[in-house]
Amino acid sequence: MNSGITLEIPAKAEYLSLVRAVVVSAAALDPAFENQRLEDLRLAVSEATTNAIRSHANLGSEERITIRCGLTSDRIEVEVQDRGPGFNPEKITPSGSLDEPGRLNYEGGFGIPLMRVLADEIKINSADEGTTVQLVVYTPPSNDNS
């Protein structure tokens, strides 16, 4: 992602609404994004940033969380990078679909499954030195086939 917007925030929940507002405002610059897709993006970015903030809980440092977003002709790409201890996304995600009744025994654990549903593409790269979540949401295909 060579161009776009970069935000660096303290790992504090108070900054979540700012991140949501900036990323959705950036996406809204492209009128091709429908409101529902903007809402999907808002939620997916919130989930990724929430996880990043949580990962810094025991860090005890001033390390910041970086959010980059870039708009291209057919998509918005958002990258959320933290410096917290990594994790295995497959291991912490409860198996099965979101609508299994047993899921309601969990008050958490919805974040990554929701991101997978809401974004068109998601990549999670996690290592000991931090985690990067990349989200891609495409604009709808043009109906102009002429």
Partner 1 sequence: MLGITEQFRDKWVLLQISGEIDMATGPELRQRIVQYVQEGHLHIILDLAKVDFIDSTGLGVLIGGLKRTRSHGGDLQCIGLSESLKEMFKLTGLDAVLTEKDV
Binding residues (CB under 8 A) for partner 1: these are 13-14, 16-17, 20, 36, 39, 42-43, 46-47, 50, 53-54, 98-101, 103-104, 106-108, 110-111, 114, 117
Smallest gap from residue 51 Cβ to partner 1 (A): 10
**Residue 11 CB, nearest approach to partner 1 (Å):** 11
Q: Would you say 44 or 76 has its CB closer to partner 1?
A: 44
DSSP string, the chain: --SSEEEEE-S-GGGHHHHHHHHHHHHHTSTTS-HHHHHHHHHHHHHHHHHHHHHTTTT-S---EEEEEEEETTEEEEEEEE-S----HHHHSPSS-TT-GGGGG-SS--HHHHHHHHSSEEEEEEETTEEEEEEEEEPPPPS---
Residue number, 127 or 140, with CB nearest to partner 1: 140
Nearer to partner 1, 47 or 79 (CB): 47
The Cα–Cα gap between 16 and 117 comes to 20
Q: Write out the two tokens for 87.
A: 């994790």
Residue among 107 and 128 whose Cβ is closer to partner 1: 107
| Shortest distance (Å) from residue 144 CB to partner 1 | 28
Minimum Å distance from CB 80 to partner 1?
Answer: 14
